[in-house]
Amino acid sequence: MKIYMDITVLTLATFITGIQRVTREIILRLLEHGQEKVVLLHYHAKEDQYHLIDNERFTAYYRLHKGIKNKMITRHKIAVTDMRPGDVFFDLDAVWMCRVKRSYLLPLLKKQGVRIVAHIYDIISITHPQYCLERGVYNFMDYIAAHLQYADELIVNARATGEELKRLADQVGVCLPPCHVAALGADFSQRCPVESEEVPWQVQRAAEEAPYILMVGTIEPRKNHKLLLEAYEKGLKQAGYHVILAGYMGWNMEEFARQLYSHPDYGRGIYHFDGLEDAAIDYLYQHARFLAFCSYTEGFGLPLLESIQRGTPVIAADIPVSREVAGEYCDWFRQDDAADLCRVVAAYADERKYQMRKESLKAYRPVSWEQCCGRMEEILYRS
């Protein structure tokens, strides 16, 4: 039995965030547990053919930071017909962005007796298309429809996502494949506190100037970064807080970028950093007064757990998935309500109350990436 995985999106990604970060962490552990069973694939568009990725070079590049990314892609070609009955095709990466449409690929695999498993992060492109790139919505519709029809089993990160999938399946009149919950890991950056000399001086300076509220993740409409800027104007600045945004500037954010970079306080109260290494992100988490999580909708919300794990209090928009993932370890504000966000922050002006909140976060026990991978392996290796 072999597990085939198309990780074209990961190998082409400039920045490792979100789904690509999850893909990296799970694959590294799958390889540790049974390298000979895992077959990693990269789709070569010009040749219309999958190429084999060298597992050892993958581990060296993503675990040890050695080697050149493109060198891990070999010249050895893998045809769909090479996959045999009893093998598993596991969609873990953001494969709806691939050239190989699942409406074409999955029926071929099914006909060959290959077992199909998909990790569904969310169905936001279906439930909230207004927050998604139009082309991405069409691609995702193809992806999700194919998996609803052909997948043998599905994996989600939260019960809320499983419930949304069930409603969708009912609406389109198909039977939902068996759906299993595997909470994402939150310990990929377990390490000693990051020293200031390990991070860019601009990050260090911004973190030291004043207490700051941090947002981590790609800047896109769904994440609602504009709410934190609004809260800055409505009370955070007056209370002495700065704002730091750490993440790549995503699609359809031109107007927000204009407002951000033209703000009179940009560079001296409001900061944006992109392309930061893990150490710099860790540093910002560790020194933040709060993490703000303002999303309209989420599939899981790793920054919530990353922050809690580092002992940094979280203030979050009150949405079902975030409640499920972080529960008692967050303080909640009404979604899209800047004044309520300011209210939650102001409630911790008493330093003793703030320190008590930090102390309470020590009780949090995250699911490890090892546990997350183990749960997925239970499903993948099920006969």
User: Are both 3-185+369-380 and 196-363 of the same fold?
Assistant: yes
pLDDT tens digits, residue range 66-116? Answer: 999 999 999 999 999 999 999 999 999 999 999 999 999 999 999 999 999
pLDDT tens digits, residue range 263-292? Answer: 999 999 999 999 898 889 999 999 999 999
Domain limits, the chain: 3-185+369-380, 196-363
22 pLDDT more than 70:
yes
- What is the reported pTM? 0.84
pLDDT at 191: 54
Topology of 196-363 in CATH?
A: Rossmann fold (3.40.50)
pLDDT at 198: 84
pLDDT tens digits, residue range 126-148? Answer: 999 998 888 889 999 999 999 99
3-state secondary structure the chain: CCEEEECHHHHHCCCCCHHHHHHHHHHHHHHHHHHHHEEEEEEECCCCEEEEECHHHHHHHHHCCCCCHHHHEEEEEECHHHCCCCCEEEECCCHHHCCCCHHHHHHHHHHCCCEEEEECCCCHHHHCHHHCCHHHHHHHHHHHHHHHHHCCEEEECCHHHHHHHHHHHHHHCCCCCCEEECCCCCCCCCCCCCCHHHCCHHHHHHHHHCCEEEEECCECHHHCHHHHHHHHHHHHCCCCCEEEEECCECCCCHHHHHHHHHCCCECCCEEEECCCCHHHHHHHHHHCCEEEECCCCCCCCHHHHHHHHCCCCEEEECCHHHHHHHHHHEEEECCCCHHHHHHHHHCCCCHHHHHHHHHHHHHCCCCCHHHHHHHHHHHHCCC
CATH architecture of 3-185+369-380: 3-Layer(aba) Sandwich (3.40)
